């Protein structure tokens, strides 16, 4: 694999772990609210109704320089962050712009027991032999809502999903052993998808009304005949989500400020010491 660092260990300080662990409960705070069309004042123009069909993110673009703590964003204008914790860290590989353009998704490698590479070491060397099998061991990719990546932004406006009943997401663990002979990996077979409503810029819970998650078993691991690029399209009904803050009814009424896709050790007990897993995320949307 070609290494190109669209990632930083510092991302963990920019995007709060509150939206990462599906089991983490945060105190519900006031805030939220969905950006809606201006009311019809009877001026004769057509009225605008909310739609169940909403594209949250697709196609990813690297910033020329780090912006808002992020190194890339969706073409819809939502910043993208990588998150690591516990005995899982950055694995010294992420997609460059050509790879994102060619596949239309973003991918980043997580490595168990890694030092995370420079500046804390070279080439992501292992630092322990502790199996990454707890809830504190995690890796994920978080995407903010469309149109929220202004350098002057102080908050995150939610995307309206009030008419939707289902989430659509293209994702996968594209670790393929032939790419990195002699390694072990691909044991992250259950991904957790997290929906957040938190209007705070750092998604730190201070403007949160709802935090809901769903576990999704991946149908394939790596590239194969069923998934030539290693990703598949998943349909997740809203009633599959459970909420540690608020409810899905609250989420629907207040909207989504960020979507997180990732895995944790407690949901993936077969994770091995020093193993590699590559999180890939393509389009994210909502429908009825």
Q: Are 9 and 114 in contact (CB under 8 A)?
A: no
**Angle, CA 15 vertex, CA 173 and CA 116 arms, to 5°:** 55
Strand ranges for 174-271 from DSSP E: 190-198, 208-217, 232-237, 242-245, 258-264
Tens-place pLDDT, residues 23-47: 322 222 333 334 444 444 445 556 5
Residue found by looking up tokens 């350098």 in the block: 151
- Residues of the chain whose pLDDT is less than 70? 1-48, 121
**So what's the pLDDT on residue 118?**
82
* pLDDT value of residue 99: 98
Task: Let me know: does 50 contact 162? Beta carbons within 8 Å.
Answer: yes
CA distance to 20, 27, 254, 258, 275, per residue, from 264 (Å): 9, 22, 27, 18, 13
Report helix, strand or coil for 23: coil
Phi/psi at 132 (5° precision): -85, 70
- C-alpha gyration radius of the chain: 19
β-partners of residue 142 are: 81, 260
pTM, two decimal places = 0.85
CATH 2.60.120.430 fits 52-287, yes or no: yes
Q: Which of 227, 239, 229, 236 is nearest to 261 (CA)?
A: 236
């Amino acid at each position: 694999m070609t290494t190109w660092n669209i990632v930083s260990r510092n991302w963990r300080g920019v995007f709060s772990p509150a939206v990462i662990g599906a089991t983490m409960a945060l105190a519900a705070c006031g805030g939220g609210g969905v950006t809606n069309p201006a009311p019809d004042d009877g001026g004769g123009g057509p009225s605008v109704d909310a739609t169940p069909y909403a594209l949250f993110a697709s196609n990813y673009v690297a910033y020329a320089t780090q912006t808002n703590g992020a190194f890339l964003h969706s073409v819809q204008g939502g910043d993208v962050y990588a998150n690591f914790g516990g005995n899982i860290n950055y694995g010294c590989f992420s997609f460059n712009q050509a790879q994102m353009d060619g596949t239309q998704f973003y991918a980043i490698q997580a490595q168990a027991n890694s030092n995370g590479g420079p500046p804390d070491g070279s080439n992501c060397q292992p630092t322990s032999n502790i199996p990454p099998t707890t809830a504190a061991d995690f890796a994920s990719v978080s995407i903010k809502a469309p149109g929220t990546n202004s350098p002057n932004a102080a908050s995150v406006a939610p995307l309206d999903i009030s008419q939707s009943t289902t989430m659509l997401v293209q994702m996968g663990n594209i670790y393929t052993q032939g790419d990195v002979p002699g390694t072990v990996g691909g044991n992250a077979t259950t991904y957790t998808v997290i929906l957040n409503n938190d209007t705070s810029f750092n998604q730190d819970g201070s403007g949160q009304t709802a935090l809901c998650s769903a576990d999704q078993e991946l149908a394939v691991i790596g590239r194969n005949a069923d998934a030539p690029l290693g990703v598949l399209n998943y349909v997740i009904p809203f009633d599959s989500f459970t909420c540690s803050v608020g409810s899905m009814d609250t989420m629907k009424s207040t909207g989504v400020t960020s979507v997180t896709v990732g895995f944790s050790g407690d949901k993936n007990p077969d994770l091995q010491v020093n193993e590699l897993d590559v999180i890939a995320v393509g389009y994210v949307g909502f429908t009825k």
